[in-house]
Structure 1
């Protein structure tokens, strides 16, 4: 099921999501860069580097036309997104090591801001139906752009765990996350969560309560929908 036609234009969702994330990144000092996040084992600077890497991947993907039909869309992209434990642990270590090599956090933050701006510009110029390749799959560019917005939005929630004064994710990004999660669930979630809480619970960042399990019924066993 393609969600390309639902909600705001993909490029507009990404602009809002990346803009909100960057608004936090530009306030990070060296001291704050070592605070914990919602990602196990990662400090703020580690998460910024991870999101920089994701933005770089998006920039490459938007300039990598695929010679075959899409095999994923903005929802099904996440269906097999459950990295195996050893690979995930190695990825966390790599990110920690490389992020710590920036002697001045401003260097990392500026690089993120520049790269995010480039991705937003590329997204605005991309034909939404153009098949593009990333991570072994092919998606329409519009669907790829929506996945990038969801990634940034979920990690925005992680980023501000120890930054209570920081602004939260964009409404556009949270709305896209809800549409994606409802798509994975196969129906609108029957719980009275706001968008941010839904994103936290559905990605394993917050536990299901007994009441939540009662509302979800058999679908409770499917949570988290992706991690």
Structure 2
């Protein structure tokens, strides 16, 4: 069974990023302080530390759009993730310590997240007005549109992580899910696309190791199963 056609990246990726970040805000803005200790799909990270991780991603977006580059891009929205293989996260302790510093995360942490995430979306919208804009981040140069796509993936995957123990929380933005799946398609490779029979959310969860593969999955994927997880 062939996976759904993902298509190109959105014409206005800053708008998609705004919806992706907005959905994360919807998840956390009604939580109690105790809810920030609930588990997520990220090992060792409760809701609070994972939101701190996303907060620093929004901060990185602000830094990147304030760091334009004239160099040729050396990464795109797919190849960027090859520098972050599964299990490469080394900041768990750091974000846990930062999260613990918020006495009332339902107020302070959520307010900080809203402020930075909304600023990051505005920076992306302004940055993308300039045709061909490139930004520097984490030692690489990306076209601004590709960089925004990496932010969308990060927000979408971690949105799914956040709601693991929050059954009434909203799902990620559908277009953000498509951008994420499009990125995973690029990492998986075209020779694997024809065998993927999952819906988009299941694809994201299983291709990133958030959900285990069962026997039917392994039979469907055949030799391609060795490629998973694609990112951590």
| TM superposition score normalised by structure 2 | 0.90
Residue 51 of structure 2 is aligned to residue 48 of structure 1: yes
Task: Tell me which residue corresponds to 1:214.
Answer: 219
Q: Structure 1 84/217 Cα, relative in aligned 2: closer, same or farther at 3 Å?
A: closer
Q: CA separation in 1, counterparts of 2:59 and 2:117?
A: 8
Residue 98 of structure 2 is aligned to residue 95 of structure 1: no
Deviation at 1:192, TM superposition (A): 2.1
For each residue in 1:118-150, what CA deviation from the matched residue of structure 2 results, as whole angstroms up to 9, or x when unmatched? Answer: 111111111362110111111001000010010
Residue 200 of structure 2 is aligned to residue 186 of structure 1: no
For each residue in 1:148-173, what CA deviation from the matched residue of structure 2 results, as whole angstroms up to 9, or x when unmatched? Answer: 01000000000001110110111011
For each residue in 1:181-216, what CA deviation from the matched residue of structure 2 results, as whole angstroms up to 9, or x when unmatched? Answer: 111111236222111111111111111222222222
Task: Tell me which residue corresponds to 2:36.
Answer: 33
Task: Tell me which residue corresponds to 1:151.
Answer: 154
Contact 2:75 2:141 in 1 (8 A): yes
Deviation at 1:5, TM superposition (A): 5.0
- Identify which of 14, 18, 23 aligns with 1:20: 23
Q: Structure 1 77/67 Cα, relative in aligned 2: closer, same or farther at 3 Å?
A: same
Residue 118 of structure 2 is aligned to residue 117 of structure 1: yes
Q: Structure 1 84/172 Cα, relative in aligned 2: closer, same or farther at 3 Å?
A: closer
- Identify which of 129, 134, 138 aligns with 1:131: 134
Deviation at 1:71, TM superposition (A): 0.5
Contact 2:75 2:140 in 1 (8 A): yes
Task: Tell me which residue corresponds to 2:9.
Answer: 6
Q: CA separation in 1, counterparts of 2:22 and 2:186?
A: 25
Structure 1 alignment gaps of length 5 or more: none
Equivalent position SS for 1:183? helix
Structure 2 alignment gaps of length 5 or more: 1-5
Contact 1:4 1:143 in 2 (8 A): no
Structure 1 stretches of 4+ moved >6 Å: none
| TM superposition score normalised by structure 1 | 0.92
Deviates more, 1:24-33 or 1:144-153: 24-33
Deviation at 1:66, TM superposition (A): 1.6
Q: Structure 1 163/222 Cα, relative in aligned 2: closer, same or farther at 3 Å?
A: same
Contact 1:4 1:10 in 2 (8 A): no
Equivalent position SS for 1:139? strand
